[in-house]
Structures are given as C-alpha cells and as structure tokens.
Amino acid sequence: MRPTRWRRSTHAIVGIAVLALVAVLVAVVTVLNKGDHGTSRAQTVPAPPAATANPSIVPVTDTAPMPTSNGLATTLAAVSSDPNLGVFGGRITDAMTAKQLWQRADDLPLKPASTNKALTAAASLLAVAGLGGDPATLPAQAAAVRAAGATELRLYHAGLAAAADLAAIGHLCSATLR
C-alpha cells in the first residue's frame, strides 16, 4: 500500500498507535520520577566571593620619567587622528610647571568627553560657594580676568594653589566685586 491509497481506517489506526505510544512514554516517565521532585539531583551553587575594590588609578612615583611634548605627541597621534572620534581636542599641561605639553584644537569649544568632567566642574562651583565665594559672580570675574590679559581661568581649592596664585586671583576677584 502506498500512502496515497491509505484508507481512513488506516489513518485512524496509525493515529491511535501514536497516541498509545505517547501515553506509555508519559506513564514511564511519571513512574520513574514519582516521589523525586528533583531535590536529590539539585546542586547548590556556592555564592560568588565578595567583591573587593581594586583601584586601577595609582599615583605616579617620584622616580617616574617626566612626560615630554614629543612623547605625548607620539603616544596620542593615533588616537587624536582617528576619524571615528569626530572632532578631537584637548590640552595636557604639567601641573608642576604649568608648561603646555600637548594640545590639539584646545581653543575650540567642545562638549566634555565624560560626565565626570561636568560633575567636577559642578563640584568646583560648589567649592567656590563653600569657601565664601559666589558662583553667580564667576562670569563677571572671568570677564575681568580676561580683560586683564588672562587666557584661561582656573578654579583652585585653597589647599592646592600656591600663595602667589591665590593672591593674584584674590586681587583680580576683589577688584571685580567692588
């Protein structure tokens, strides 16, 4: 008999046989698992170890080589010329000597590359207020400093600035507030 010539009774018999086979398989599985709700085979996974802090930023030692303009230019050349970054600009200045070590499009106003920089700026404004200053007067003070010949504005915390810097900033700011 070919499948195209099967009678209805043949289809019914094959269907009943398949249903019977499925019923037998279900019964066998039920009997084998009866009373065993998976508790004996369950494995308890141990808790992962507690997370520990592993800071990745470490201070530079006093014996570390000083950065150079050529070294920074070489190191940053590939990154700063990558077209996937869009407009890339910045400036690196030696904090000890105030010497500019690297710059690219540093006069072009750009959005900060991270929210960390924006939060740092906001924290600086709060520090100004906490030290008795008024952040609302900073635009006028910045204009006065620019008129006096300054090309950049730096916000210092009293513990980080040199006495000469504080005196110069204090003189310019007090002249603005009068």
Q: Which residue has the tokens 């404004």?
A: 125
pLDDT at residue 178, as a whole number: 43
Count the Cβ atoms, other than its own, within 10 Å of residue 145: 21
- Give the pLDDT confidence of 43-89 residue by residue, as tens digits: 788 888 887 766 566 667 788 888 888 988 888 888 788 787 777 78
- The pTM of the full predicted model, rounded to 2 decimals, is 0.34
Question: Rounded to the nearest 10 degrees, how much is the dihedral formed by the CA atoms of 33, 37, 41, 46?
Answer: 170
The CA-CA-CA angle for residues 155, 158, 162, to 5°, reads 85
Average pLDDT per block of 10 residues along the chain, 178 residues long: 69 90 91 66 77 68 84 84 78 80 82 69 68 73 82 61 61 50
Count the Cβ atoms, other than its own, within 10 Å of residue 148: 12
